[in-house]
Amino acid sequence: MDRTLVLIRHGQSDWNLKNLFTGWKDPALTPVGVEEARAAGRRIKALGVGFDKAFTSALSRAQHTTQLVLEEMGASSLPVVKDARLNERDYGDLSGRNKAEAAQKWGDEQVMIWRRSYDIPPPGGESLRDTLARVLPYYCQDILPCVLRGERTVVVAHGNSLRALLMVLERATPETIPGIELATGVPVVYRLRADSTVESKQVLEA
C-alpha cells in the first residue's frame, strides 16, 4: 500500500520578503513564492507522485500555493480541505512587526526565545506547544487516516504548523525542534508504515 504524505511550506510571502512576523495575518505570495510553488508541483510530478487528498490552512498564501502545486501536476480539480487548525502560529503582538525592530525593542535573546522556544509564547500569541495542541488532533483525526488508507495526501501549511507535525513524524523533542527549519516551497515526501511511523523521507530540493 502506498502510504504517502507530502508536506509543503507555502511559497515566499510578501511579509517573508520584508522580514515581518506574519502569524495569522494574510499577505500574498511574492512572484518568487509563486515560482517556488509551481516548481514544487513540477518536482512532485517528476517523482511520479499524484494526490488523492489535499489539506491546507485558512490563510491565502497556503491556499494559493496549493492551487499552483496542483495546477502544475494537472490536478486542479482535486478538492482541497481548508482548516484554520493548520494556520501558522499566532505571533500576537509581534504580528506585522519587523523582526530586526522587534529585537531592538525587546532584545535579541528575548525575541529568539519567542521565535524558537517550545513553550514560551510571544505577548498575546501562541507558543509552538499551543500550535501543536491544535495541529496534532487534526492530523490524527482527519489527515493520518487518509494516509493509512492508502490515499496519497498533501498538506500545504506554514513553518510552525508543519514543525508541529515534524515533532510527531520525526520524533523531535522540545530540545531539538528549535533547530529544525523548513524552506519555503520545498516538498518533503514521507512514506509511512502501517503503524504510522516513517519508513522513508525525501526532500525535493531544487
Distance separating alpha carbons of residues 176 and 155, to the nearest angstrom: 23
Beta-carbon-side half-sphere exposure of residue 85 (alpha carbons within 13 Å): 15
Distance separating alpha carbons of residues 43 and 38, to the nearest angstrom: 9
From 10, 64, 72, 158, active-site residue: 10
**Cβ pair 67, 76 in contact under 8 A:** yes
Distance separating alpha carbons of residues 111 and 106, to the nearest angstrom: 7
Distance separating alpha carbons of residues 76 and 196, to the nearest angstrom: 28
In the annotation, is 10 catalytic?
yes
Grid coordinates representing 42 are 513540477
Helix (H, G, I), strand (E, B) or coil at 54: strand
From 64, 88, 126, 158, active-site residue: 88
What single DSSP character describes residue 118?
S
In the annotation, is 101 catalytic?
no
- Catalytic center residues: 10, 88
